[in-house]
Amino acid sequence: MSFTPPARHQDRPVAVIGAGTLGRRIALMFATRGGLVRIYDPAAEAGEAACVYVARELPEVVKTIDGGRPGTVEAVTDLAPALADAWLVIEAVPERLDLKRRLFADLDALAEPDAVLASNSSSYATSHLVDSVRTPERLLNLHFYMPPRQNAADVMSCGHTDPAAVALLLKVLPDYGIHPFEARRESTGFIFNRVWAAMKRESLAVVAEGVSTPADIDRMWQVNTGAAAGPFRLMDAIGLDVVLDIENHYAAERPGLPEGPRELLREYVDANRLGVKTGAGFYDDYQRQG
């Protein structure tokens, strides 16, 4: 099927699929231009918590956006109404390929014909999803880091993406305070995450081997780099279940990777110490997310 990217977007909604840690942050960024953002999640409590988060953070984030003004964010528990008239649909669900394939089949069937369908997956290229959609020309990766603090985003073709869809996002995203970078070839982990994965994995290995502790590694990281947070604080912010899903995917593609980092992560995940969202991960000093 042919695809023509949306000619207008300013007065049309953005739909974010998934109200978790990243879904709510993505919604926050797209609510900075006065428009409407719908967050779809079948769990009403999750959607409501995401809206509370956006309402709390939006006034300060808008101040950082040139021409920014608060938009409207609403939670929706039915998929079709969430997608109505949306020009951009961003999937932000757990890193399970079977789940993403089923979801993108539904998105392709229900979204507007000119809507761009984007996956925020941290580790799966959308080439894995091509068979789930009838119009792969509108399918691509749009991978966020941890907005509003880390506002870079990777844009990567599924291998069939209409170049105009990529060009549209590269042009429009800066209006929302997002800095897009195009991955010019398919790359598991995209650009920055490939570098980050190596540092994260080695940090986990140092702890798994009993060489050091998360707190000491983070402190050395801060002293030597001047960064505000080290790798273990960052992993807690992402969610250790998400980090483990990503590591499992890397390991499936590269069987020679050491098992120790994943074993350490499993210990924390099995204990429901997932990081900020459960109130405890590598650190215990978090307030559990609603």
The alpha carbon of 159 is separated from its chain's Cα centroid by a whole number of angstroms, namely 20
pLDDT tens figures, 133-158: 999 999 999 999 999 999 999 999 99
pLDDT tens figures, 157-193: 999 999 999 999 999 999 999 999 999 999 988 999 8
Q: Strand 36-40 to strand 14-17: parallel, antiparallel, or no bridges (unpaired)?
A: parallel
CA distance 7 to 51: 29
Residue 113's CB: how many other CB atoms inside 10 A?
11
Q: How far is CA 62 from CA 38, 67, 142, in A?
A: 18, 8, 22
Half-sphere CA count of 191, side-chain side, radius 13 A:
16
Q: Can you tell me whether residue 87 is helix, strand or coil?
A: coil
What's the confidence (pLDDT) of residue 275? 96
Burial class (CB in 10 A: 0-12, 13-18, 19+), 157: buried
pLDDT tens figures, 78-119: 999 999 999 999 999 998 899 999 999 999 999 999 999 999
What is the set of domains in the chain, with CATH numbers?
14-182 (3.40.50.720), 193-278 (1.10.1040.10)
What's the confidence (pLDDT) of residue 1? 59
pLDDT tens figures, 29-82: 999 999 999 999 999 999 999 999 999 999 999 999 999 999 999 999 999 999
Whether residue 289 has pLDDT greater than 70: no
Burial class (CB in 10 A: 0-12, 13-18, 19+), 244: buried
